[in-house]
Amino acid sequence: MTVPPRVRIVEVSPRDGLQNERATVDVATKLALIDALADAGAVTIEAGSFVAPKWVPQMADTDQVFARLDRRPGVTYQALVPNLQGVERALAAGVDEVAVFAAASETFSRKNTNGSIAEVMQRFLPVAARAQAAGVKVRGYISCVLGCPYEGEIDPAAVVRLAGDLIAMGCYEISLGDTIGVGTPTKARRLVEAVAGEVPIDRLALHFHDTYGQALANIFACLDFGVAVVDSAEAGHGGCPNVKGASGTVAKEDVVYMLHGMGIETGLDLARLCAAGKTISEALGRPTGSRVARAFG
Ligand code: HMG
Ligand code: MG
């Protein structure tokens, strides 16, 4: 098995990890989490989202998070944006990068972004153009790549098409989201293989939620295609607010433990990650979702 020598971990904890939590997390706690991640060696941190506060109240204070960020050299602070209003807020806040998010399922697209897939992609065109004109890079997410909570099976061809369209729009990287964590290793491999026929492998990232406990196996199954970017959240918290029963992305501590054990570098300090996961779990009043963090105590 050939695996990449190094994997870049995209820290989605302050956004994906906190957007669906019942407990209110104040700005100071979010900033402490972001700093702890940077201290642990994180190079890409999704610090929040500039979405409609009515849709996701937990992210309403992202402007304040950016205003008070202790920016570390070499760290890219990214945020999710759904529309022009979002990108304007993001640029005013001084983001390093923005991320747009499409879905491979019509029903999910409407429930998460109040528009059909085509309408949402059309909405992103000026968003990407505005960001690029300001010198800000754009990342693209695709949700429901391995299944939809409303429509079930998703045709990989829909994912391939969207990935190509997002790249054509100027996205530098496509993050493949198994939003509800239903994928299994063979399916995940086939999907990545299909998308890699359209988008160079070094522009693909894996964003696997762990609802069914498959995320680590799915990541492992995709590594030997050369995918070298993995999204994950501290302690496995979070999930998408518009999906019932979906849990967080795979716990970062577990991904890092697996990768380091396979001799793959991440640049991250596992002990510090576990400490950061413990702190945010205490703030949320929830046990950690990381098996590795539990084992380390
Ligand atoms: P809409 O209701 O159609 O928007 O929602 P609208 O344009 O009609 O505006 C309605 C109100 O929202 C207006 O305010 C706007 O000003 C305001 P009002 O006049 O009623 O007072 N508004 C905004 N305010 C601040 N910032 C903005 C903004 N936009 C509108 N950017 C919209 C459409 C896309 C805005 C909405 O559906 C939305 O914000 N959706 C975001 C949902 C979301 O954040 N989901 C979670 C992230 S995606 C995810 O988790 C998946 C991922 O992790 C990958 C994976 O796991 O698969 C990325
Ligand atoms: Mg997600």
Q: Tell me the pLDDT of the chain (297 aa) as tens digits.
A: 889 999 999 999 999 999 998 888 999 999 999 999 999 999 999 999 999 999 999 999 999 999 999 999 999 999 999 999 999 999 999 999 999 999 999 999 999 999 999 999 999 999 999 999 999 999 999 999 999 999 999 999 999 999 999 999 999 999 999 999 999 999 999 999 999 999 999 999 999 999 999 999 999 999 988 999 999 999 999 888 878 767 899 999 999 999 999 999 999 999 999 999 999 999 999 999 999 999 998
Ligand nearest to the CA of 88: 1
Q: Which atom of ligand 1 lies at the shortest distance from residue 123's CA?
A: 34
Transcribe 31-99 into DSSP letters.
HHHHHHHHHTT-SEEEEEE-S-TTT-GGGTTHHHHHHT--PPTTPEEEEE--SHHHHHHHHHHT-SEEE
Return the domain boundaries, the chain. 8-296
The Cβ-side half-sphere exposure at 144, using a 13 Å CA radius, reads: 27
70: amino acid identity, one letter: D
Active site residue 144: no
Q: What separation, in Å, do the N-terminal and C-terminal C-alpha atoms of the chain show?
A: 32
pLDDT of residue 241: 85
Q: Name which of 24, 17, 90 is nearest 241 in CA terms.
A: 17
Superfamily of domain 8-296: Aldolase class I (3.20.20.70)
Q: Please tell me the residue having the least CA distance from ligand 1 atom 24.
A: 52
Q: What is the pTM of this model?
A: 0.97
CA dist., res. 242 & res. 245, Å (int) = 10
Q: Please tell me the residue having the least CA distance from ligand 1 atom 1.
A: 114
Ligand nearest to the CA of 148: 1
9, 84, 177 from 44: Cα distances, Å? 7, 23, 17
Is the CB of residue 132 less than 8 Å from the CB of residue 164? no
Q: Give ligand 1 pocket residues (Cβ under 6 A).
A: 16, 19, 49-56, 80, 82-83, 85-86, 89, 101, 112-114, 141, 143, 177, 179, 207, 209, 240-242
Strands 137-143 and 173-178, sheet pairing: parallel
168: amino acid identity, one letter: A
